[in-house]
Amino acid sequence: MLKCEDLRIEVPLDHFGDTPGTIEVYARIVGTADSDSKPYLLYLQGGPGVEAFRPTVNSPSWLPEALKTHRVVMLDQRGTGLSSPIGWVDGRFVGTGGAQDPEAVAERMSFYRADAIVEDAEAVRRALGVEQWAILGQSFGGFTSLRYLAEHPESLLSARITGGLTRVPQPGADPDPAIAYARTWQIMREKSQKFFAEYPGAADAMKRLHARAVTDGIALPDGTVAAEAHVRSLGLLLGASGGDQQLRFLLEHDIDSAALRHDLQASLPFSARNPLYAAFHETCWASGAKTAWAALRARPAEVADDPLWLSGEHVDPELFRTGPLAVWDDVAQALAERDWPVMWDVEKLRAASVPTAAAVYTHDAFVPRDMSLETAGMLANCEVWETDAYEHNGLAASGGEVLRRLGGLLQGLNAQA
């Protein structure tokens, strides 16, 4: 049986400057009856803009493995879940400190990046009264873990990173996020070709769906309309273990059936429930650069004429012009035009000696293998387990296997926890 405790603390909106205001940050401490003496493991969720799991006895699937050795701290990233969530409710922006003008909302959101999440985590650690804890970062949570390793290594017993070793631009290198997106477009081409070769009927269905989206749009049950970019974004399913079957079954339905329309809406990866995931997504790659719609800039010209070249975590401006995210259009544009400061200090990363174990997925659609291995090479005390057995969601899909593997690597590094 799980033992859960709630923790709510007040933190500055602006950890690094003098912009006034505070927000509330929420964390759930998850353990078992015999957990009180175990060290804490902070879970940093993927995203950005997605709250932590709501745990049950066997969900997420890796939780039972983690609870053998730790108490798990499920932190809702600022702006999500119970941490002063940002959204659009009853015709207005909420969680924005009263800001309604798109420029003002974007300015507010500039305080919600990985650097601030790390400082929030430090405040949670202090509130728990511990000097050190371990961290587990999945995807964007790994990006956040790298910031943690660089800025507060003294607070960390160990780090576990799964599918989250982002590209860290070297001094003098081009920091443009489009460099990473160019690679992920090619990965998605390979995954798309493999999927449609295996399921020719799905290829025909996708062509019909794409054609309808281009000519008329596809009416969704919520009253919005899916455009071409929405249909193409279904490719994100191919980046997860089991997602190919989900896409296959979706495409079995007739385009004019209620099942297709409802399943399409439910399968769209960028939704109004977690608007930061779409509006804020490209900023997670930004380190000393604008995003300027990096995924679109990196998109090969051939994509426009190929309905079977699906996108992954590629945010297209068209997603904000129709569909459930339309109210975020001007906010997303303001964020795309913003200059972002350096997120990861290369020299600090190289100096961090925290024992770190990382899972790198050979065919990861969202965080490319080659860039991950390059970043791992910057860390002084990092062991990598590379596998082609799982996709980007291997932590959740493996039932604890990925976490066990990383635990073994950390034992080899003589990590304390």
Answer yes or no: are the C-beta atoms of 376 and 368 closer than 8 Å: no
Q: Please indicate whether residue 139 is annotated as part of the active site.
A: yes
* Helix segments in 32-177, DSSP class H: 63-67, 102-109, 114-128, 140-151
Distance (Å, whole) CA 363 – CA 68 = 30
Angstrom CA distances, 117 to 7, 10, 18, 64, 252, stand at 16, 13, 17, 25, 41
User: Out of 6, 18, 305, 339, which one is annotated catalytic?
Assistant: 339
User: Out of 139, 158, 287, 398, which one is annotated catalytic?
Assistant: 139
Q: Please indicate whether residue 363 is annotated as part of the active site.
A: no
CA 319, 393, 60, 128 dihedral sign is: negative
Q: Please indicate whether residue 339 is annotated as part of the active site.
A: yes
Distance (Å, whole) CA 204 – CA 206 = 5
Distance (Å, whole) CA 417 – CA 410 = 8
* Listed residue (5, 74, 72) closest to 39, CA to CA: 72
Residues 16, 19, 21: CA angle, nearest 5 degrees: 105
Residue type, 277: Y
Residue with tokens 């300015």: 107
Bridge partner residues of 134 (DSSP)? 41, 158
- The first and second tokens of residue 242, run together, are 């089991």
* Listed residue (345, 378, 346, 373) closest to 359, CA to CA: 373
CA 118, 119, 122, 124 dihedral sign is: negative
Rg, the chain, Cα only: 21
User: Out of 35, 244, 392, 398, which one is annotated catalytic?
Assistant: 392
Strands (DSSP E) found in 52-194: 71-75, 87-89, 92-94, 133-138, 156-162
Distance (Å, whole) CA 171 – CA 345 = 9
Q: Active-site residue numbers?
A: 139, 339, 392
